[in-house]
Structure 1
Amino acid sequence: MDSSETQDAVCSARGCRRPAVFALRWRNPKIHDETRRKTWLACAEHRESLGAFLSARGFPLDVAPFGP
């Protein structure tokens, strides 16, 4: 991801247009092997709720800061 994509990246929560500050990397172990990861972006406000949504489904989750 180049710097212009990073600057334009917004939270993945429905209806949120805030800048992303966290990357939530997850996978569905029922259909994806260890090498496959999907990424949702989150603002500070939605980091917990997006993470809770994924955790409740038993999806392995890594959270890291997002940005340049």
Structure 2
Amino acid sequence: MNIFNLGGGSAELAGPASAATCSRKACRANASWQLLWNNPKIHTPDRRKVWLACGEHKAWLEDYLQTRGLWKETVPLEAAETGGNS
């Protein structure tokens, strides 16, 4: 069981690219953005958690994190795959 693919299907069988789905509840679209965030109450300043976003939900997820003071940066998903932020 893969905890990152609880929506069904098998990420292992489908390949790594298909595992990158949007983090918005009930969205199964391919992600093209990484929203980097941390909770300063429980994470060290350099720690970055990652939510993935499709183009449709990028702004919604950014707003959610910004409203709570958690958002740090948004980067294209491809940048991380080629050696960008990790």
TM-score (normalised: structure 1): 0.85
Query: Which has the larger share of helix?
Result: 2
* Residue of structure 2 equivalent to 1:17: 28
Measured after TM superposition, the shift of residue 32 of structure 1 is 0.8
TM-score (normalised: structure 2): 0.69
Measured after TM superposition, the shift of residue 60 of structure 1 is 3.5
| Identity of matched residues, % | 42
Regions of 4+ moved over 4 Å: none
Structure with the greater relative contact order (CA < 8 A, sep ≥ 6): 1 or 2? 1
Q: CA RMSD in A?
A: 1.3
Larger radius of gyration: 2
Q: Judge conservation of contact 1:51–1:61 (CA < 8 Å) in 2.
A: no
